[in-house]
Amino acid sequence: MKEKKITTALISVYHKDRLDEILQKMAELNISILSTGGTKEFIEKSGYKVTAVEELTHYPSILGGRVKTLHPKVFGGILARMGNAGDQQEMEQYEIPPIDLVVVDLYPFEDTVRSGASEEDIIEKIDIGGISLIRAAAKNFDDVVIIPSRDHYGDLLRILTENKGITTWDERKKFALQAFNTSSHYDTAIFHYFNRDVQVNAFKQSILQSRPLRYGENPHQRGSFYGAFDDLFHQIHGKEISYNNLLDIEAAVFLIDDFSETTFAILKHNNACGIASRPVLADAWKDALAGDPVSAFGGILITNAEMDATTAAEVDSLFFEVIIAPAYEIKALDILKKKKNRIILLRKPLQLPVVQFRSLLNGVIGQDRDTKTETRTDMKPVTKQTPTDQEYEDLIFANKVVKHSKSNTIVLAKNKQLMASGVGQTSRVDALKQAVAKAKSFGFTLDGGVMASDAFFPFPDCVEIANDAGIKIVIQPGGSVKDSDSIDFCNHHNMAMVFTGIRHFKH
């Protein structure tokens, strides 16, 4: 393929780290350097020869540095096609020197936004000259090498050191690809900043970080995760995290975040199969496991409390894929690390996004994440019988669990412990029957327990089944045209029922 040797470089970078290594190699290869502003000063102070862009353009940096490189003699040198006779004639006519390497590191717009800086400072960090240089050099990759950010300084060093400044056409095209990746991400970040209040209804997302996964949901499917997973978790131990692990980890985190008391949860296929809140973590674990010790095998474990050695010793007897906690005692880690493949995650205090997206058909759907968590004040008694204080506590607990379970779903709970749930059923009646059967199979007495539903009851059949099973306390959104049928049944059978007015479908 077409090889080219670098002869003239234009360098305009915000971050100067590792630039001195590049400058040394350029000097060894007699590569001419053009620069301006702070980059030029850095090069000069580092002891290397550099020509000011102003000497080339015969025009000073103006408007407080907003206009430095935006000039035909700069962009002509970058965009000129070496194999085009007309371009070469014009370059000679207008005394435009060719530029075959452009090194850019853009103003840190995203970092400035995150820092809470003023809008004036943020606007000034919108790079104009740098982004224009990137696009121009990438467009003319046939003749020009573009280094679009400091993330690619290592690649440039390799070319300068190992290849003596010679690049192939394929290499230059790959750099162009990275350049457009950088510029499109930068523009997306600026769009999102301006779109905070105006809300132009357009889907634009850009995530530069990614990690390949062993496979997708099944071994025959490819999979990747796009995002900064390490910002959320520190993986202390274990094998590579899988696609399905990630789905369960998200479900686990969203669930546990609704609980302030010491709580332990076990999840399988995005649903809680066990969860309990207790003053002592080891007790929370034991009661969570009791909810469904069969489904717990191979599950995801999460707690909102420090993992202590006592609880770790209990947990260690179960085979599970992942455990998540905000902190671990050293002795607890010693116990948990005995299984080499066991994934141990330390959760970091980072707020999760409140908007969700999902690919659908030939597009994407988006929604606000369901962050509504009902309290006692949201619960409206609709029956003659009303819950006791303890029963209200259980209703709050059960309603949190039902919110994070796949629809149609019914949750049965007592004393802040999940007794059983029926999830992902096409009929709410089937979900309830499943929950009742599971609870009884694991030895639970349903008398004194509560029932939570993710959506309203169109018929009284669910409260009838609940009553027959011993459940006398019910929470549901309400809103059916036949609510009165369920209310009447509850009143005739001394049952208490509250409406929340909030549906929690989850698909």
Task: Give the three-class secondary structure for 191.
Answer: helix
Phi, psi of 298 (to 5 degrees): 75, 20
Q: Give the CA distances from residue 336 to residues 8, 174, 292, 311, 366, in Å, rounded to whole numbers and listed in that order.
A: 57, 44, 22, 10, 38
How would you class 237 by CB atoms within 10 Å of its CB: exposed for 0-12, middle for 13-18, buried for 19 or more? middle
**Single-letter residue type at 100:** D
Q: What are phi and psi of 237, to 5 degrees?
A: -160, 155
Locate tokens 């103003």: which residue? 107
- Calpha distance 350→361 (Å, rounded): 32
Q: Residue 342: what residue type?
A: R
Q: How far is CA 289 from CA 36, 320, 418, in A?
A: 65, 12, 10
Cβ atoms 185, 136 nearer than 8 A: no
In sequence order, what are the residues at sequence separation of 6 or more whose Cβ sits closer than 8 angstroms to the Cβ of residue 497? 381, 382, 383, 463, 473, 474, 475, 476, 486, 487, 490
Query: Which residue numbers are catalytic?
Result: 139, 269
* Cβ 12 vs Cβ 36: under 8 Å: yes
Residues 265 and 146: their CA atoms lie apart, in Å, by 50
| Contact assessment for residue 324 and residue 252, using Cβ atoms and an 8 Å cutoff | yes
| Number of C-beta neighbours around residue 381 at 10 A | 13
| Residue-level length of the chain | 507
Give, in degrees to the nearest 5, the angle at Cα 366 between 363 and 370: 150
Closest listed residue to residue 75, CA positions, set 147, 152, 131: 131
Neighbours of 156 (CB within 10 A): 24
Please give the radius of gyration of the chain, using alpha carbons only, rounded to the nearest integer. 31
CB distance 276 to 418 below 8 Å: yes
Q: Would you list the DSSP string of 322-377?
A: EEEES-B-HHHHHHHTTSTT-EEEEEP--PPPSEEEEEETTEEEEEE-------GG
